[in-house]
Every structure is written in structure tokens, then in C-alpha cells.
Amino acid sequence: MRIGWRGLTGISALIAVVAVFWVAAIAGQGQAPAAGRGQAPAAGRTEDGKPNLNGIWQAFTTANWDIEAHHADAGPRSDIMGAWGAQPGGMGIVEGGTIPYKPEALKVKQENFKNRMVVKVTNDPHRFDTADPELQCYRPGVPRANYMPFPFQIFQNREQILMVYEYKGSVRTIFMDKHQEAPVDSWMGWSNGGWEGDSLVVDVKGFNGHTWFDRAGNFASDTLHVVERWTPRDATHLMYEATIEDPNVFTRPWKISFPIYRRLEPNIQLLEFNCVPFVEEMMYTPLGLYNPPNRSAR
């Protein structure tokens, strides 16, 4: 028996469906359509004078390895991965350089790093594995989704802004007109947005407390509160800032910041990265519940 742990697949189909609704809404307001396959990226302003964020964007940092400054290092399985699994050095994206952990939380972070590849599958919904959630194909949360090494697409109209991430086909809706409280905690949280001048400001709460910020074990709890600022600098890049607050984990609020770039290739599109099949063998073989698929079958 092969476990059918299925997530969102077919990101191309997802983009097509989303685009039908969002392009229709945007066109009805006189705004430029979202960038997609075969389309030049949108730029300028929308009909109501807001910066036009429609398009495909990507950050180019090493923050998914570690949001703090770090040197190049061997990966966790250098004995078989060699340079393939090595991490590049990076200057970090944490303003001030250091995350202000409470002493007991810093110990948890250090244990997270030690156990970042320890996978123990459980049926208890209140317990999750100690390994990095990315390793197990869970949704990355906010802000991590914005600096993973994958592009994401923004669809914008007056009432809502939709962000679709290539990694696992994760989706988040930013409610611009009618702000709401999170109906349930989730991996990606609940986003309410508004404009302050040319900056899109997004208030994100309602996290489930299981997300990490990176592969280094930096983490938060279910009281995490993130305030994002997306500020265009020109037609091809914007500055991203996030203020992070979690009284259970940190002694004070702290910030991250980095640039995000608009992808300019004329044929740019999000491709599918459904990581579920990539982790099934790792997670279920120890339980005797995994049989390799017959890839030669047609």
C-alpha cells in the first residue's frame, strides 16, 4: 500500500482558475492584467492610484538556510551529499543581526537545529515532528514563504490581493476591504491589508505555532504576529520588511528586510512543485507503510 498523502497539486491549473477571476476583476477596474505565461510583467499604477504589484516575484537571499548571518557550511549529510547539500554563506536579513530570544526559547531553537532531520510520524494532531517543516512538505508560513528559493505570483484588485507560491502551491489571501479575524489557526496565518502611501501593509495572525523561519531552527509559537510592508522602489523591485512579535518566544519585536525582484522573462510562469511525493518514502518507510510506485507503468 502506498500512502496517498495528497496536497494541492496542479499549480498550473490553479493559476489558470485564479487568473480567470482576478484578471476579470482587474480588467473591470481598468487595471493592467497580472503577468503570466507569455505576458510582460505589469508595472505602474492601478486605476485607483495604487502601485501595481501584479506579476511574478522572487527573493534572492540565503535566508531560507538561516535568517541570521551565517558562514558557508556542509549540509547535514555531507557524507553522501558532498557539496550538493552544502549551505552558502549569507549576511542575514535580521535587522540588528541577532534574534532576541528568551533564554528558554533559545534552547528550543538550538534543539530544533540538532533535530532538523528527525522525522517521527504521529497521528496525534496536537503533536508535530521535530524536523524542519520544509523537510516534510508542510506549508512554509509567513514570512518564510517570501524568501524561499521559489517564485510567487501576486494577483491584485481593490478588495483582495492573492499570493500564490510555487512551493507546495501555497496560497494566501490578503483582505483589503473587510478585515476579519482568523476563523481557525493555520500554517499561512490570516492576512488583513491596507495601504500606507505606496506601501502595502499586511497584518498577519492566526498561526498554528508549528512553522519555522528557516532550516537553522529559528521558530515562533501560535502567538506569532507579523506586520509586513511591501514597498515598490521601481518597476522591477520592491523592499520587503516584516516586524515580528511573539511574547512567548522573544523579548521584544524585531524586524527582517530584503529586496524582492520582479521576474522579467517573457515566458515566466509558476511551475509545479508538489513536494508530497518527494517525502512519502522518508516519512512512511519506517512505519512499513510505503511501497515504491511503479514508475514504468503507463
pLDDT, one tens digit per residue, over 55-91 is 999 999 999 999 999 999 998 889 999 999 899 999 9
Low-confidence stretches of the chain (pLDDT beneath 70): 1-43, 122-129, 294-298
d(CA 4, CA 272): 18
Res 286: pLDDT: 77
Query: CB within 8 A of 285, min separation 6: which ones?
Result: none
pLDDT tens digits, residue range 224-233? 999 999 999 9
Using CA atoms, how far residue 182 sits from 18, 179, 187, 192, in Å, is 22, 10, 12, 10
Res 295: pLDDT: 58
Query: CB within 8 A of 225, min separation 6: which ones?
Result: 203, 204, 205, 244, 245, 246
- CA Rg, the chain, in Å? 20
Helix (H, G, I), strand (E, B) or coil at 6: coil
Is-contact 70 92, C-beta < 8 A?
yes
pTM for the whole thing? 0.84
Res 34: pLDDT: 42
The three three-digit cell numbers of residue 166, written as one number: 510555487
Res 27: pLDDT: 42
Name the E strands within the chain.
Answer: 55-58, 152-156, 160-165, 171-175, 190-196, 199-205, 225-232, 237-245, 254-262
